[in-house]
A and B are shown apart, each in its own frame.
Chain A
């Protein structure tokens, strides 16, 4: 099996080409800015007298969820950019010819790339989310969001996008594939907002459109589940409703749908890539 060779190769390419370095530096800059924001925000919060019980904890939790939402967005963009031309781009450039002529299955190339990108995103999300939780804990003294499930669900969202982009990349070149994947990603994002409005207005049609978009591309649903895990405190639910999360977090079934989604996109990527002419 050569999957691990391709995965390692994919990782090394990203490191060597400074994709990871660029993302790491930008994220570091973002974390510094974020830390400054939290520090001032928390100072102002402490000067506020009164308010309902649990206010401090709720606001700190919201600050963390907002920060992680941005990281989730960066991770999604990174996932799409890394994988959107991974197969067809390399076939068009001719760099995959010598590799595919070796005793390597096409499926191993697809899975190898998937594993490589997933590992990269796992490190990115793991390190940056941990740093963010640490920043909040050090500044505010409140330890919130210290659980594996949040970052794991963020990684799952990134994996869904990698699967989708690889499926498209098995046939389409990078530009049309990128347009399609981002459109689907945006559909899921907007679908989530429509679902929330539908929930508030008690409009079954709007609510169902939102749910349908989540089934079509469950990336937003993964984040909603993650934010529900992360948000703690007395009225976290109300506060996290809005751009950063859903008032009604998706049920556990959504995980199953996500797993099916991943299996379908990767299955399609392998089948289409196996039949493709170089």
Chain B
């Protein structure tokens, strides 16, 4: 029997009054996957994260987390969560916060102290263990937040903007932690605006816009939906539109940029141009970055 998905959403919608924040979203995150969740502000990312955590209820659809119905105590016992814009009770010390969350996460008393010590060391806050969180910098708060998310030895970690307040070294540390988690078989759901970060650590991504998933897949597949750049004579654009349809043809710096599904399509396009008597001077493949993909999706709502 195959293992159930770590996160499974089917036909999930969320309506706030007359606003449809999430519109019929279906999504699956496999066990052990490092999954990147992207989208512009207000796209519905946080709403989906909160629904997966059982903090917000969907208006329609089903959500399962680690094979359990969303919000069940059994599912929540195995989930670690770092909330967006780190907000914890800042009158606690770092050590007290971790002890409290360890108890809530039902970590047994005999391992609690050791776990808290190890995590504080892992996030580089061993020396500040007994300082109040209110005295911490934003970056330190985010690090203690990450330790908090890991305190229950979760099978699924949901990180909402984990590195937004960190300096480059702190970011690299968190990226390394995420990679380590992935290597240990922990599923990571990473909600981030930092595309380079997602690009570096995620196996698969989904892009959400206006409450719907507009792109989903393995990162290399999504990015390899290639583009070619052509320098050609008059009539090239018409030939391209004729061959490949209206979408995915545009001008950049006087050159023609065309999206193609594969190499066969490239060959077909060039053959068509030559048949039509359009001189082709230069053809090259253009690598796509996640940023290109993201901007394209956010601007036009398609890939």
Contacts and interface: CB of A to CB of B under 8 A. Distances in A.
Nearest to B151: A102
A277 B103 contact: no
A93 B87 contact: yes
B76 A277 contact: no
Given A97-B55, A278-B55, A102 B91 contact: no
Contacts of A275: 57
A16 B103 contact: no
A41 interface: no
A25 interface: no
B73 to A, nearest CB: 4
Nearest to A90: B89
B57 A100 contact: no
A98 interface: yes
Q: Which of B76, B103, B104 has most chain A Cβ within 10 Å?
A: B104
Nearest to A9: B100
Given A5-B100, A9-B100, A101 B81 contact: yes
A105 B73 contact: yes
A112 to B, nearest CB: 11
Contacts of B53: 97, 101
A16 B145 CA distance: 21
B91 A98 contact: no
A97 B104 contact: no
Nearest to A98: B83
A54 interface: no
B301 interface: no
Interface in A91-115: 93-95, 97-105
Given A9-B100, A17-B91, A94-B85, A102 B50 contact: no
A13 interface: yes
Q: Which of A2, A98, A105 has most chain B Cβ within 10 Å?
A: A98
Contacts of A102: 76-77, 101, 104-105, 152
B152 to A, nearest CB: 8
Shortest Cβ-Cβ A-B pairs, 9 listed? A94-B87, A278-B55, A102-B104, A103-B77, A277-B56, A103-B73, A103-B76, A101-B81, A101-B53
19 contacts: A2-B103, A9-B89, A9-B100, A16-B91, A17-B91, A94-B84, A95-B89, A97-B50, A97-B53, A98-B82, A98-B101, A102-B105, A102-B152, A103-B74, A103-B77, A103-B104, A104-B76, A277-B56, A278-B50
Given A2-B104, A102-B152, A103-B77, 5 more contacts: A5-B100, A98-B82, A98-B83, A103-B74, A277-B56
